[in-house]
Amino acid sequence: MTSAEAALEETPNNTGRLSHEPDEAELSCSASAWLLQMSRSQFPLLGSALLLLAVMLISLGLGKYPISVKEILLFLGQKYFGVSYFSADRMRLLNSIIMEIRLPRILAGALIGAALSTSGAAYQAMFVNPLVSPSLLGVLAGASFGAALGIVYLKSWFAVQVSTFLGGLIAVMISVGIARVYRVNTTIMLVLGGIISGALFSSLLSLVKYLSDPYNQLPTIVNWLMGSLTLSDRSQVIKTSIPICLGLCVLLLLSRHLNVLSMGDEEARSLGVNVQRVRLIVIVCATVVSALTVAIAGTIGWVGLIIPHFVRMITGPDNRKLIPATILIGAAYLIVADDISRLAFSYEIPIGIVTALIGIPCFAFVLRNARKGWS
């Protein structure tokens, strides 16, 4: 501990210097002492990891054939640690339900949730704008267009991934470009740019739908763009998870840079950051991870906007804490949303509808809460 830290510790409430404003000062200092403790400890990160684990365990048991958490744990114990509890038949049944049906879907959900939320957090930090997200910047619309185009005209899965990513990248370039061309760097301009870019790609998507074969291709495109984890094919999920995980790792490693970028370009440069290079890396990574979720599961909106906001309330805006916590909480959130889409009604509804129905009221609430910081 340094002498300065020691000085701070000696006066835990530290009201001495602020005694001219006793009420407010005491309040803010006890709050800041609490924050100090919270941020010193790794509580948010550990808590989110435990939450994700719990959500995964419970979700493994949810479905038409419910399995208790105890049974899941015993099953895992028997499978991996040689505990003997279930009969061979029962083991086979549990194995096919847990390992072959539910686990891949839960992992896909976790991946998509982490990807959408983290790219939202990264865009928000980089554009110094808490109102942007993959969907508001038009990335999801661009990616949908790219993916639909890929489904209709391209054959290989890899080509579909590439066209999905390119669609997303062009969309984000257009939203950012509109603000750049008019040299107006405001929250509202970026949001408007995103609306324009999103509208452009929605109409292009309609064009692709119109031109596609109405018996085979059109239903596939429509169903899949509504957002669902049902259609996700396991080998495709595995292939897509590689670039997504890489993108997430880079964003995680660049969290310090994101902090500096959110002080504005000139300051970031004066702090020795190569702004253009870092910005390009962040845009590419955030766009790769969010666009590729479209390739796995269609358009799932509102996650990239809501989750970073929610996590920021717990960890504060420091991206070194925000990004890892967002990965974990975003993953847990999407698994829960998928549980709802599977179980809320007698048949499955698209997860994109669930996230929108949860996200919209949350956003309306957050909008009111965070208003003061957005001037």
Partner 1 sequence: MSLFQVDSLSFSYRRVPVIDGLRLTIDEGMVIALLGPNGSGKTTLLKLLLGLLKPARGLIRLRGKDIHDIPRRELARQLAYVPQVHREAFGFHVFDVVLMGRMPHSSFFSRYGAKDEQIVWEALEKLGILHLAKRPYTEISGGERQLTLIARALAQGVRVFVMDEPTNGLDYGNQVRLLERVGRLADEGYTFVFTSHHPEHALAIADRVVMMQSGAIIRDGAPLATVTPDKLAELYGLPP
- Residues of this chain that bind partner 1 (CB under 8 A): 2, 4-5, 7-8, 14, 17-18, 28, 32-33, 35-36, 39, 125, 128-130, 187, 253, 256, 259-260, 262-264, 266-267, 269-274, 316-318, 320, 373-375
Question: Cα–Cα distances in Å, from 77 out to 71, 91, 95, 100?
Answer: 10, 11, 12, 17
**Is 352 within 8 Å of 226 (Cβ atoms)?**
yes
* C-beta closer to partner 1: residue 14 or 135: 14
Least Cβ distance, residue 64 to partner 1 (angstroms): 45
Between 29 and 147, CB nearer to partner 1: 29
Q: How far is the CB of 188 from partner 1 (least distance, A)?
A: 13
Phi, psi of 119 (to 5 degrees): -65, -35
By beta-carbon proximity to partner 1, the closer residue of 64 and 371 is 371
How far is Cα 210 from Cα 147, in angstroms, rounded to an integer?
15
User: Using CA atoms, how far apart are residues 161 and 187, in angstroms rounded to an integer?
Assistant: 30
- Comparing CB distances to partner 1, the nearer of 37 and 96 is 37
Shortest distance (Å) from residue 3 CB to partner 1: 8
Provide the CA 86 distance to its chain's centre, in angstroms.
38
Of the two residues 304 and 352, which places its CB atom closer to partner 1 in the complex? 304
Give the shortest CB-125-to-partner 1 separation in angstroms.
7
Rounded least distance, CB 370 to partner 1, Å:
9
Q: Measuring CA to CA, how many Å separate 134 from each of 98, 263, 338?
A: 32, 21, 19
Q: How far is the CB of 198 from partner 1 (least distance, A)?
A: 22
Structure tokens at 217: 């291709």
**CB-wise, 133 or 299, nearer to partner 1?**
133
Name the token pair of 311. Answer: 């996590």
Helix boundaries (H) for 212-263: 217-225, 234-253, 255-261
Among candidates 238, 249, 263, which has minimal Cα distance to 318? 263
